[in-house]
Structure 1
Amino acid sequence: MAAAAAELPDSVLVRILALLPLRERLGAASVCRRWQRLAQDREVWRDVDGSAHPLSSRSLWLLLRRRFQPSLRTLRLRGRLRSALRQRLLSPALLAALAKRCPRLLGLYLTETDLRHLPSSSLPASLVALELSCCEIPASWFCSALPNLRHLVIRRVPAFSDRHLLNVVSGSRLKSLSLSGTYRLTDVGICRAAPRLEELETLRLIRCGVGDSAAGSIGLYMKRLRLLELGEAHGLTEAGLKSLGSLRSLETLDLHLPLSPGAVIAVCRALPGLRSLQLRGLRFEDGITDQIRADFPFCSFSKAP
């Protein structure tokens, strides 16, 4: 590979190095002097994905000091939440050093990371996107405002509750919100947060406490929604689904709900901008699929069992 790469210009090789997994990217610096020089290029360290393997705090400190560049835009990390050692990947000091070293960091994506010892005020203020998957957070998280935060994804974080959502919306103007497996989030919390989510364009609520009241608040306040996905919301009935007909800007509707196809068709008829309809978990009688395609000829339609 090194012999073939010798014929490539530096600009092309830098792009190739930037596509390598983290371990291979680090190993490339030991191939030859040219690769060592190119491996330090800021383009190589614009996006860093360390989520393939758990990292230790020590390893992350070494990366920060020796490799990370001010050009860093996105950082993906995996901790050791399931390890018996429960080593803490992040600390306030490390995050402070990260914010100083990489002032343009826009996206932080954490998997299996214990954050209970970490105040949310430690997060870099530059963050535009934050994703937490299978993490542990304290009850006081998100009390400190993240003024630039526009995109929030929470997956399988059981501690995430109404209080967390209200803290987020009080200090951030979200454009997209995706919550999955947040069982402590209730209908009441969504209703209280909805008036502060008027700028939301993408909303995904899967295995959350979504009921008719929450659906009514979504239809009342989130008029800019372009994509809405609702799944496994056992408290949502056809009455609540009907209230979504006021989302005139909605382009994509994805439902995995045990509702009648007739109720879905009725709400879709009230959505003039609908271009994509995905239905899962519905029982289709003969002719229903053809009726949906006939009623919405400009809308792509798919269904899954």
Structure 2
Amino acid sequence: VSLWHLVRRHLGDSLRTLRMRGTLCSVSKRRLLSPALLAALSKRCPRLHRLSLAETDLRHVPYESIPLSLTVLELSRCEIPTAWFLASAAPRLRHLIVHNTLGFFDHHLLNVSSQNRLKTLSLCGTYRLTDTGIQKAAPHLEELERLVLRHCSFGDAAISFIVRHAKRLRFLEMSDTDSLTDVGLACLATLQHLQALCLHLCDKISPGAVTALCQALPQLRNLKLTFEKEEIDKIRAILPHCSVSHAP
């Protein structure tokens, strides 16, 4: 059954979430989406608020074609155009998840952060983003409540830019961020609303720095780490009001 058939015959105004997988990783290179199909989707499904795309070639899809009703956009292993996230008529995104989409550059982050009031930002494997890109986007992330950084090449400078502006953060995960040190970790002490912190495979941070940080965070209730069990037990004893566990 073609996607056109689904849109015309089966999808209606009750649809809230749509997940689609394209053909980037398959032998067939047939394009999944087009501006015409997205226009039909917008008309048929005016309440669609979450669009999740995987392995989809979007290089021939203008950002203006994306349904205006969206508040959540997920991109996983997709190809996007240079000019994406910049349009006079565009959805008002509140949550953006970008995983292993290598064509996601500094200007993409600046465009999407400056045109939207993001509450959630999840970046995984976005190796083209730099500390400079984070610095330019950070002033537009003041309403951010949830931030996930996995397999990113950001250093201490990027973290300091983020925490300088994203004072409302409640959840923060940093995984496989090899450039993060105790210096950058100490910057997180200004996040007085932080409730959950996950530090996974951040090899350059020390248990002492983690303990000092957590003692400065009055709202912290959940802490996940990848230290040895002995170190985690020590931290748990110092933080009786916080659930401390080993990060998966």
TM-score for the superposition, normalised by structure 2? 0.95
Match of 2:44 among 96, 101, 107: 101
Amino acid across the alignment from 2:98: I
Q: Which runs of 5+ in 1 are unaligned?
A: 1-57
| Alpha-carbon offset, residue 219 of structure 1 | 1.8
SS at the partner of 1:77? strand
Larger Rg: 1
Amino acid across the alignment from 2:147: L
2:193 maps to 249
SS at the partner of 1:228? strand
CA distance in 2, matches of 1:147, 1:127: 6
After superposition, the C-alpha distances for 1:234-262 in whole angstroms (9 at most, x for unaligned) are 22111111001100000000011111111
Q: Which runs of 5+ in 2 are unaligned?
A: none
CA distance in 2, matches of 1:143, 1:208: 23
Contact 2:198 2:247 in 1 (8 A): no
| Alpha-carbon offset, residue 146 of structure 1 | 3.4
CA distance in 2, matches of 1:68, 1:84: 28
SS at the partner of 2:188? helix
CA distance in 1, matches of 2:62, 2:152: 25
TM-score for the superposition, normalised by structure 1? 0.78
In terms of mean alpha carbon deviation, does 210-219 or 271-280 score higher?
210-219
SS at the partner of 2:225? strand
Structure 1's 266 and 59: CA in aligned 2 closer, same or farther, altered over 3 A? same
Amino acid across the alignment from 2:224: Q
Structure 1 residue 119 corresponds to structure 2 residue 62:
yes
1:294 maps to 237
Structure 1 residue 275 corresponds to structure 2 residue 208:
no
1:163 maps to 107
After superposition, the C-alpha distances for 1:188-210 in whole angstroms (9 at most, x for unaligned) are 11111111000000000111131
Paired residues in the alignment total 245
| Alpha-carbon offset, residue 304 of structure 1 | 4.2
- Provide the alpha-carbon RMSD of the alignment: 1.4
CA distance in 2, matches of 1:97, 1:151: 23
1:180 maps to 124
CA distance in 1, matches of 2:120, 2:143: 9
Higher relative CO (CA 8 A, sep ≥ 6), structure 1 or 2? 2
Contact 1:261 1:283 in 2 (8 A): no
2:145 maps to 201
Aligned 1:128-147 pairs, distance under 5 A: 128-144=71-87, 146-147=90-91
